Amino acid sequence: MMRDHREAMLYIITGGFTTLVNYAAYGAFVWCHIDPIVSNVLSWFVSVTFAFVVNKWIVFESRSLESRKVTTEVVEFFGARVLTLVVSAVLFAVLFDYLGSEMGVHILTDEFFGIRGSEGYVTKLITSFVEIALNWVLSKYWVFRKEKSEA
């Protein structure tokens, strides 16, 4: 399975590590008495930087160190991540506010498999899957796309 789906498997594995980096960085910033909101922004930046490096080298095997190409990749990668962050935030708001309250689909806002108080966790889970999928597509087909000569 790893041979047939190597890129996707590596993306999932490095994504897990990226999540750990995000939480570790957040914890370190909070431990240093940095405001939690600022800590969250800083940990996002640290984890996206980590994600760029592992996606570039391990997942999509873009080994060029030519400064122009790396600069383009960095700008496109961070731009893509900001875009998916916005999409995720908007989708979360729509699912949580509109579907959860107006249409009465309460599983998205306050109950998950009979567990009360899961305020928004199912909505966050749904938006996370969308965000991960968009990140992969943008990384593969835009940021780290293979030129015809590389393929």
What pLDDT was estimated at residue 116? 47
Question: Contacts from 83-86 at CB under 8 Å and sequence distance 24+?
Answer: 83/134, 83/138, 84/131, 84/134, 84/135, 84/138, 85/44, 85/131
Contact 54, 135 (CB under 8 A): no
pLDDT tens digits along 8-43:
999 999 999 999 999 999 999 999 999 988 999 999
What pLDDT was estimated at residue 147? 76
pLDDT tens digits along 62-82:
999 999 999 999 999 999 999
Q: Is the pLDDT of residue 109 over 60?
A: no
CB neighbour list of residue 92: distance below 8 Å, 6 or more residues apart: 120, 123, 124, 127
Question: What is the overall mean pLDDT for the chain?
Answer: 85
Look up the pTM and report it: 0.81
